[in-house]
Chain A
């Protein structure tokens, strides 16, 4: 079967670092994507990990461990505009479709 687990909510202060964890189970696995969605908006792509390790894109980094079926998104130097929902989305075989979970709602406080 397929499953995804992310924390439902995370709260952090402006300027801090926050890590959003994701564990997944899919029928086959290609890689793990992360998307950001602001209230009322469409999801937008943040990063993709096809291999184990850390990928860095500016203030955001994403990590993958295939052996642990685990990944995380790291947001540094948090800004108020980072308040949004963050979705991990594993891409698996069996149709190669990308599955999204319920997401993690991040609240950034001043």
Chain B
């Protein structure tokens, strides 16, 4: 009963390094999301994927890329990390983007860029 699994849970990067955050869900959901959460800022949508094969920008896409590898997996890539990208990153999934369905969240990746 894993739900949404994110890896890694913690990461420290140096400015300019790249990395990919992995996310997988086992609920056969169509839609997947990446959010970032900064203190006092709530959750801000980075990218989302309404269904396998499609991705779209959210509120704060700059500096990120995503790949919907298959229905289960949705990865987030930082090509050249910056201190402003220090945040907690949450992956989420839901059954359908246009339906009344709840979003299930992973436990988050705490990323620090120094």
A residues neighboring B (CB under 8 Å)? 8, 30-31, 33, 35, 41-45, 48, 50, 87, 95-103
Contacts and interface: CB of A to CB of B under 8 A. Distances in A.
A41 B106 CA distance: 9
15 contacts: A30-B98, A30-B100, A35-B103, A42-B90, A43-B43, A45-B103, A45-B104, A50-B100, A95-B56, A96-B97, A98-B45, A98-B94, A98-B103, A99-B59, A100-B45
Which of A30, A43, A101 gathers the greatest number of chain B CB atoms within 10 Å?
A43
Given A100-B42, A103-B42, 14 more contacts: A35-B103, A41-B107, A42-B106, A95-B50, A96-B50, A96-B98, A97-B45, A97-B48, A97-B58, A97-B97, A98-B33, A98-B103, A99-B45, A102-B42
B77 interface: no
Interface residues of B, number: 26
